[in-house]
Structure formats: C-alpha cells, structure tokens
Amino acid sequence: MFTAFDNFPALLIWLPLLGALPAFLLRKEGAAGRWALASSLVTFTVTVASLFFQGEKHYALTQVSYVWLPDFGSSFTLTLDGISWILCLLNAVSFPVILGSTLGTCRDRQHVFFGLMLMAQAGLNGVFLSADALGFYFFWELALIPVYFLASLWGGERRVQAAFKFFIYTFAGSVLMLAGILWMHMRTTDQSFSLASFYRTSLDPVEQAWLFWAFFLAFAIKMPVFPFHTWQPDAYEQSDTAVTMVLSGVMVKMGVFALIRWLLPLFPDALKRFDEIAILLCIAGMLYASCIAMVQDDLKRMVAYSSIAHVGLMAAAVFTVQQEAWHGVLVQMFNHGVNIIGLWVVVSLIESQLGVRKISQLGGLAQKAPSLAVLLTVIALANIALPLTNAFVGEFLMFNGLYRHNPWYAAAAGLSIILSAVYMLNMIRNVFLGGTNDLTDGFREVSFRHRAILALLVVVILAAGVHPEPMFRLVEDTSDLILKRVQSR
C-alpha cells in the first residue's frame, strides 16, 4: 500500500524538475537564482523529512513502482534505501551550497543557468533512486545533458571542447552500458528491466565477463578511474566552478554508486575473476593522479587530480567486497562531496576576486582573508582525511577493507595519503601563506554569505567526522543486503 513515505522518492525527482521550469522563465536579474536556491532548499527539506517517515522500514530495500512502459518490461520504479538516501542527501545538501555560493556571480543568461542546474539535480536524484535499469539509463543520460550545456555555456575559453570531450567520452561509456542492460533484459525470466529481476537472473561466465566490462567501462569513465580520466581535468578546469562542483561533488558519485547498486550484484562471478585488475587500476590511478596533482599549477586542475585519487580509493574499496569498506565508501561518498564542494567554493572565491587560478601567481591570502584561510584549512585537512574530520572515517574503513583484501594494495594505496598531504599543503602554502604580491594585495575578505556557507560545510565536516554513527546506521542494512548478494553467488 502507498504510505506517505512511498511518495517521497518520486517527489525527490519531481521537485527539482518542476522547480527548473519557472527558473527558465525568470529573466529578471537575480530572480532565477533566488528561486533556484529556494527550490533546492525545499528539496533539501523534503529529503531530510523523508528520513523521518521511514517508519518500520529501516532504510531497507523499499521500492515504489509506477506504471511506465509495461510492454518494454520497464516501470518507473524508485527505491529509497540507505545508499540512495545518503546520495540524495548529498545532492540535497550540495545544491543549496552550490547555488548559494554562486548566487551573486556575474553571469549572462542566469535563468538558463539556474534552470539547468535544477534539472541536473533532478537527473542525479533519478540516478540514485532508480530501481529499473531503463530508468537508470535514462537518468544517467539526463543528468549529463544539462551538465553538458552548463559546462559548455559558462567557463573558460576551451570550455566547448572540454565539455564535448566529457560528453562524448561518458556517452561512449554509457552506450556500452546500454548494450549490457539490454542483454540483461533479454536474459531475465520475465523480460523485465527491474532491478529485482536483474538480481534474480543468472548468467553464464562468458556473458558475465563481457557485461562486467561493458558496465565497468561506463562507470569507470564516469568516476573516473585511471586511465579513463582524461576528460576530467579539462572539464573541471574549463567549466564554471559551480558546474565543477556539481560534476565533482555529486556526479562522479554516480559511478561509485552504480558499482555498488548495479555492477557487483549483477556480475559476482565476473567480479571474482576481474577484481584484481579493477583494484590495481584504481590504485595505479590514485598514485598517478596524486603525483600529477603535486605538479599542477592550476588550482582547478590540482583539485581535479586530487578528486581522481580520492574516487580511485572509493572504487578500489568497492571492489574489495568487504563489509566495512563498503560502509566506508558510502559514507565517504557523502563526505567527499562535501569536502570537494568546499574546496571549489574557495577556488571560485579566489578566482572571482583575482581572476587568476595559477598557484604560482597567488600567495599570502591568509593575511588578507584570515577567515577564509581558516575555513579552507579545515576543508583541506578534511580532504586529506585528518582524524575527526569526515573523510577520515571513510578512508579508514576503506583502507581497512583494502588491507583485508591484500595488505600490499593497502600499502601502495596508502602512499597517496602522503602525497595528498604534499599537494594539499603545497597549495595552502603557496596560495594562503607567505607574503602577498602585487596581485594578491587587493584581495579582500569574502562576503559573509560565503563565509557562512563555508562555515556550514566545516560544521558538517566536523560533525560527520566526530560522530559518523548515524550515517552508518543509515547505510549499513542496505549495504549488507547487497553485499550478501554479491558474496552469496
């Protein structure tokens, strides 16, 4: 029976989507932005509220299904379980922050910008909530389109090419996934696209092998995992920072999420054959990206490479199929989103004031903007997983899982802990500390709004770092359920 809770999943998609339409029409200066912020806050409220309507369900696999394409064996099925909830929450938290931080930025065609942003949010929520493969694919693409436009319309000089590369690359991955989805669909006993039917379907090893790689490629490009990552630095660098926040804060989580929700439970036998390759790719990517991050002079590229390293760890941890590693991954998805958005906010504040992102041209900002420096430091420390910040919890569990899988992997991956400290502190040293120069002399403390947003993020970082338990309670049951499925085959 439908209860009040059952409508929440659909609501989480419709709210931002319906919010997007008026935003396109609000041409008045600033109006669209305020509307979008309000809309995203409503979504946030509803997302949080949905937690309290869970009742007896305990975030276990609850599905709500609407008729859509019965002839295709597809329905509009949504599931709000632990893992989708935490990602929807990330989405709900991120967008007010992103929109709030970008509100006053000078930008032409604001109404389009904010409309597309909300559309992207709807698409992302759809990806996280879909329990139907076709719906999942739909949202997978639909999240991409608005972001493609956002990334092409606003940003650096080479944005069109960069965004296009991003689009084509991810599209290429996702068509392979589509082939895999269709194949799975054929193999289901009831010719259905539903997640449940997919889970029930058994495949022979050869099928599993190629399907595994088809799906993996799609997700690997999205995350991105080495060596499929080259779209990312370009896209991050060239996009408007608000868009980069969406990309790095929420969108890359699509890939990790999909590994857990789709790839591993569907092809457990293939996983047994290929997990080492996948993990090694991820770890190689972590070290590789960390090394490159060390020598980047562009703030955005540096953060981009650091993101590759972090996401690589998450992906590696997923492939270990260790219980607590998965919990760590799920929690870390949220935490990484918060942290990296925080970093981008700071980057965008610097760029908007000085028009420069080159680390070598900056310096001494801490003198001019002490509050900003403090907030950034906390966020940066969270990014390198200092204990009592949010990322520590996740990384600890992930490394733990990796260690249980193979100690040497953990040791190799652990080197990135050191490297991450190197590039993060380098960045702080060269941008915030030291003396000012001609350029940075004119830097002013950032506005109260931005400080408040960053402070909010810092509070989240610390709260989640000191008391991560509620998040574990949220994801545990679902995660263990899926894990059991992966292991039992």
Partner 1 sequence: MSRLIYLVPLLPLAGFLLNGLGRKRLSKTAVSVIGVGTVLAAFGISLSIFFETLSPGFAPQTVRIADFIDTGRVKIPFSLLVDRLSVLFLLVITGVGSLIHLYSTAYMHEESEPDFARYFAYLNLFVFSMLVLVLGSGFVTMFIGWEGVGLCSYLLIGFWFRNPAYNDAAKKAFVMNRIGDLGFLMAVFWMLSRFGTAEFAGVFEKAPEATAAVLTGITLLLFVGATGKSAQIPLFTWLPDAMAGPTPVSALIHAATMVTAGIYMIARSHVLFDLAPVTQTVVAVTGLATALLAASIALRQNDIKKVLAYSTVSQLGYMFLGLGVGAYTGAVFHVMTHAFFKALLFLGAGSVIHAMHHEQDIRRMGGLAKRMPVTHATFLLACLAIAGLPPFSGFFSKDEILMAALAKHPAYYAFGMLGALMTAFYMFRLYALTFRGAFRGTAEQSAHLHESPWAMTLPLAVLAVLSVAGGWLGIPEVILPGAHRLGDYLAPVLSGEDGEGMAVAHLDHATEWILMGTSTAIILSVVAFAWSRFSRQVPSDAPAGGGLSGLLERKWLVDELYDAIVSRPLRALSRFLSGVVERYIIDGLVNGVGRSVQYGARQLRLLQSGQVGSYLLIMVFCMVLFFIVQMFWKP
Partner 2 sequence: MNAILLSALWGVVMMFTGLASPHARLHGRMAVVGMALLVVAAWLDLAGISPFGITGGGMLSYGPYESVFIILMAGCALLYLLLSVHVMADGGTGTSDPLALIFFVMTGICIIAGFRSLLMLFLGIEIVSIPLYILSASDKRNLRSNEAALKYFLMGAFSTGVMLMGVTLLYGTHGSFYLEALNIGEEALSPLATAGIVLLLVSMAFKVSAAPFHFWTPDVYDGTPTVFTSFMATIVKGAAFFAFLRLFQDGFGRLHEHWRLLMAFLTAATLIIGNVTAVFQQSVKRMLAYSSIAQAGFMMLALFALNQTARTGIVLYAVSYSLATIGVFAVLARMKDHSFEAFNGMAGRQPLLALLLTVFLLSLAGIPLTAGFFAKYQMIAATLEEGRMVWLAILALLCAVVGVYYYFRVIQAMYFRTGGDAQPEVSKGTRAVLVVTALAVLALGIHPDWLLRFLSY
Where along the sequence are the contacts to partner 1 (CB under 8 A)? 165, 168-169, 227, 229-231, 288, 291-292, 294-296, 322-324, 327, 364, 366-367, 370, 381, 386-388, 393, 396-397, 399-400, 403-404, 407, 410-411, 414-415, 417-418, 421-422, 425-426, 429, 432-435, 466-469, 472, 476, 480
Question: Cα–Cα distances in Å, from 110 out to 29, 105, 272?
Answer: 8, 10, 49
∠ Cα 84 89 94 (to 5°)? 130
Neighbours of 145 (CB within 10 A): 15
- Residue of 1, 106, 186, 206 interacting with partner 2 (CB under 8 A): 186
- Pick from 113, 167, 257, 326 the residue near partner 2 by CB under 8 A: 167
Stretch that binds partner 2, among 114-122, 172-180, 270-278, 341-349 (CB under 8 A): 172-180
Q: Token match 């679902």: residue?
A: 478
At CA 354, angle to CA 100 and CA 163, rounded to 5? 65
**Which CB, 77 or 170, lies closer to partner 1?**
170
Rounded to whole angstroms, the Cα distance separating 293 from 286 reads 10
448 near partner 2 (CB under 8 A) = no
209 makes contact with partner 2 (CB under 8 A): no
Q: Which stretch binds partner 2 (CB under 8 A): 7-15, 175-183, 438-446, 464-472?
A: 175-183
**Selected range binding partner 2 among 3-11, 87-95, 180-188, 333-341, rule: CB under 8 A:** 180-188
Contacts with partner 2 in 50-79 (CB under 8 A)? 68-72
For residue 201, the minimal CB distance to partner 2 (Å) is 14
Inter-residue contact 318 to 329 (CB < 8 Å)? yes
CA distances (Å), 315 to each of 68, 312, 435, in order? 33, 5, 40
The 3-class SS string of 189-220 reads CCCCCEHHHHHHCCCCHHHHHHHHHHHHHHHH
Contact 339, 454 (CB under 8 A): no
Cβ-based nearer residue to partner 1, 136 or 219: 219
**Residue 387 interacts with, from partner 2, partner 1, none (CB under 5-8 Å by kind):** partner 1
Site for partner 2 contains 336 (CB under 8 A): no
CB-wise, 65 or 323, nearer to partner 1? 323
Q: Which residues pair with 239 in a beta bridge?
A: 155
Q: Is 66 helix (H, G, I), strand (E, B) or coil?
A: strand
Tokens linked to 428:
């702080």
Determine whether 444 is exposed, middle or buried from the number of CB atoms within 10 Å of its CB (0-12, 13-18, 19+).
exposed
Of the listed pieces 141-149, 218-226, 230-238, 351-359, which binds partner 2 according to CB under 8 A?
A: 141-149
Among 21, 38, 172, 459, indicate the residue that binds partner 2 (CB under 8 A).
Answer: 172
Which CB sits closer to partner 1, 58 or 165? 165
Closest C-alpha among 413, 305, 313, 418 to residue 359: 305
Applying CB under 8 A, among 111, 185, 229, 301 the residue interacting with partner 2 is 185
| CA pair distance 139, 174, nearest whole angstrom | 11
Task: List residues binding partner 2 (CB under 8 A).
Answer: 68-72, 137-138, 141-142, 145, 149, 152-153, 159-160, 164, 167-168, 171-172, 175-176, 178-179, 182-183, 185-186
